[in-house]
Amino acid sequence: MTTTKELNNLIAKAEKMGADITVVWNEEDGRKLHESVAVKGLKGCGPFPMSPIAAAERLRELTA
């Protein structure tokens, strides 16, 4: 499980490590939610789009 805030923090950490991240957003009921996350340039992750949950799980491992 993840939250938008946690995933944004993980994305920021990965970007500081040199990753190039593309996020597709979905606006639903006035909320902005991650639809997919693609990570490039971070060894062991990507480059194909992942669901937000899969991205959070992988980024937790690689940014710890």
CA gap 49, 3 in Å, rounded: 18
Mean pLDDT of 1-7: 92
Domain layout of the chain by residue ranges: 4-63
Beta strand ranges found along 1-64 (DSSP E): 20-28, 31-40
In this structure, what are the phi and psi dihedrals at residue 31, rounded to the nearest 5 degrees? -105, 145
Mean pLDDT of 24-46: 92
pLDDT for 29 equals: 84
- Res 24 pLDDT > 90: yes
pLDDT for 46 equals: 83
Cα–Cα separations (whole angstroms), residue 14 to 8, 9, 29, 32, 47: 10, 9, 29, 21, 13
CA gap 43, 33 in Å, rounded: 26
- Res 21 pLDDT > 90: yes
pLDDT confidence tier of residue 41, bands split at 50, 70 and 90: very high
